[in-house]
């Protein structure tokens, strides 16, 4: 048996506050980049080096998957989130309508405002018929200081810590 322990902070934000704070800090995407909602129907148009596109799409069946692509249709950043009541990675993120699950930006494009753009765009395009409280939640590893600073900058507040313990069987053979 193999086991692992993962430590996360849980953060929450009100979507209205987040939109206002993010809009103040938002700058245009760098030249040559554009935002796209990734779906099974359009996935063949794009190439991805920063994640497994099929795995992302499989996770996002009941959620939202937004990507930033360059002129060559290469995905340089993505953001995935899901509505509560749908599939959730973290069971300890409670009392929120939308769970911000994963955001990744290619190292060459970091510190250019792309992550903020993705968060803002996702929240702006939430289907508010599916949400009641307009509250968002996420889990972030304590070592990911860049992500913590970004989230706190736009109104996420640390709520509590979660420790997840995973046990996996070694594959036979």
- In this prediction, residue 8 carries a pLDDT of 81
Alpha helices of the chain — where are they, by DSSP H? Answer: 15-25, 53-59, 114-124, 145-153
Q: Per-residue pLDDT averaged across 84-101, rounded?
A: 61
Judge contact between 162 and 8, C-beta under 8 A: yes
Tens-digit pLDDT profile for residues 119-163: 888 888 777 665 666 778 888 889 999 889 988 988 889 988 877
Q: In terms of pTM, does the model score above 0.85? A: no
């Amino acid at each position: 048996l193999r086991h692992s322990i993962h430590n996360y902070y849980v953060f929450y934000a009100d979507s209205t506050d987040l939109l206002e704070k993010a809009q103040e800090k938002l700058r245009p995407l760098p030249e040559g980049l554009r935002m796209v909602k990734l779906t099974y129907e359009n996935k063949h148009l794009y190439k991805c080096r920063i994640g497994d596109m099929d795995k992302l799409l499989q996770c996002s069946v009941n959620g939202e998957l937004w990507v930033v692509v360059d002129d060559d249709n290469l995905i340089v950043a993505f953001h995935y989130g899901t509505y509560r009541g749908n599939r959730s990675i973290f069971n300890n993120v409670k009392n929120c309508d939308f769970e911000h699950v994963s955001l990744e930006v290619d190292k060459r494009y970091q510190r250019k405002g792309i992550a903020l753009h993705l968060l803002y765009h996702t929240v702006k395009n939430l289907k508010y018929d599916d949400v009641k409280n307009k509250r968002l939640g996420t889990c972030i590893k304590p070592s990911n200081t860049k992500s913590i600073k970004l989230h706190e900058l736009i109104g996420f507040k640390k709520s509590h810590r979660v420790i997840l313990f995973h046990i996996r069987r070694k594959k036979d053979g």
